[in-house]
Amino acid sequence: MFNVDIGDLRIKNNKILLEDIKFDLGKNKVFTILGANGSGKTTLLKSLTGLLDKRFYSVSGKVIFEGKNLFELDQEELRQLRKDKIKYLFQDAINSFDHLKSFGYYFNLLVKDKTEIDSLLEYFFLPNSKELFKLYPYEVSGGMAQRINFVLTLLTHPKLLFLDEPTSGIDLAISNLFLLKLKDFVNESNNAALLVTHDLVFANKVSDKIAFLSDGKLTEFYTSEEFFKIKDYSKLEKFLNSHNQLTS
């Protein structure tokens, strides 16, 4: 059974950054956490698999994935988990690559069959493996690096995908492409995705469930329809208002 249960998560450095964070991620769904810049969205995502630097942050609570509390695993076990079951897609894909290694290096690490690689590359409008493997990260644009990163991620067939601002700094066409693929991803083989973003339109289109993060607290997850009718949180109302003013 697939279920991620996050309970009483609390993150501190000098002060408490996030508190009382609780939610469940079920299969076949895209979950989205909306929030303004600086509300702690990235910090929250990183905390879930122990990616925050322990010298500066203390994290308490529990994250249960496939029956195990991730906060009780050691670094090696977490690393293994991030290698095949739980994958992250960060904003600055280009910086995830070593600029002195061609893309072939990363694909060869996965030892997958070329047909799967090439069909994914074609889907993402990328050059075929023969050409792409020879390219170096400094030779491609930011949007291309994002797509290559996504392909590499999908090739490992993760169960859970964490995405940090998937639409920021990339082309609208690529954002649309990501949206389509993300929907496919969660509908295939009982996967789930959790993304954090401030892009309301994207959140509305891609998500099954949405929650709002502000002042260190997370609301519960609502369906998209319910979410845009919420009136209980003044911060959220302000957030939705400025969006309406911009797009009316």
Partner 1 sequence: MNILLKVQSLNYSVENVEIFGRHQDEKIILSNISFNLEQGKILGIAGESGGGKTTLAKIIAGVIPKTSGYLSFNFSNEWDKVKSSPVQILFQNSGEIINPYRTINEVIEEAIFIRFKDKNIINKEKENIFNSLNFSQSLWNRKGYELSGGEQQRAALARILAVKPELLILDEPFSAQDTESQLNLLNLFKSINEKFNISMICIAHNLKILKKLCDNIIIMYRGKIVEEGLTEEIFSSPKHPYTKYLLKAENYDLSYEDLKMDFN
Minimum distance between the CB of residue 175 and partner 1, rounded to whole angstroms? 7
Please tell me whether residue 234 binds partner 1 under the rule CB under 8 A.
no
Q: Which is nearer to partner 1, 31 or 202 (CB)?
A: 202
Q: Which is nearer to partner 1, 27 or 183 (CB)?
A: 183
Stated length of the chain: 248
Minimum distance between the CB of residue 1 and partner 1, rounded to whole angstroms? 32
Q: Which is nearer to partner 1, 161 or 200 (CB)?
A: 200
- Count residues contacting partner 1 (CB under 8 A)? 28
Tokens read off for 140: 């491609």
Q: Which of residues 131-190 bind partner 1 (CB under 8 A)?
A: 141, 143, 168-169, 171-173, 175-177, 179-180
Minimum distance between the CB of residue 197 and partner 1, rounded to whole angstroms? 10
Looking up tokens 């939610």 gives 23
Distance of alpha carbon 92 from the chain centroid = 12
Q: CB within 8 A of 47, min separation 6: which ones?
A: 9, 11, 18, 57, 59
CA dist 41 and 128 (Å) reads 35
Residue 88 bridge partners (DSSP): 162
CA dist 198 and 4 (Å) reads 23
CA dist 221 and 22 (Å) reads 10
CA dist 124 and 127 (Å) reads 9
Please tell me whether residue 206 binds partner 1 under the rule CB under 8 A.
yes
Minimum distance between the CB of residue 126 and partner 1, rounded to whole angstroms? 13
What angle do helix axes 142-155 and 172-187 make, rounded to 10 degrees?
A: 10
Please tell me whether residue 239 binds partner 1 under the rule CB under 8 A.
yes
Minimum distance between the CB of residue 125 and partner 1, rounded to whole angstroms? 8
Residues of the shown chain interacting with partner 1 in the complex, contacts defined by CB under 8 A: 36-37, 125, 141, 143, 168-169, 171-173, 175-177, 179-180, 198, 200-202, 205-206, 238-239, 242-243, 245-247
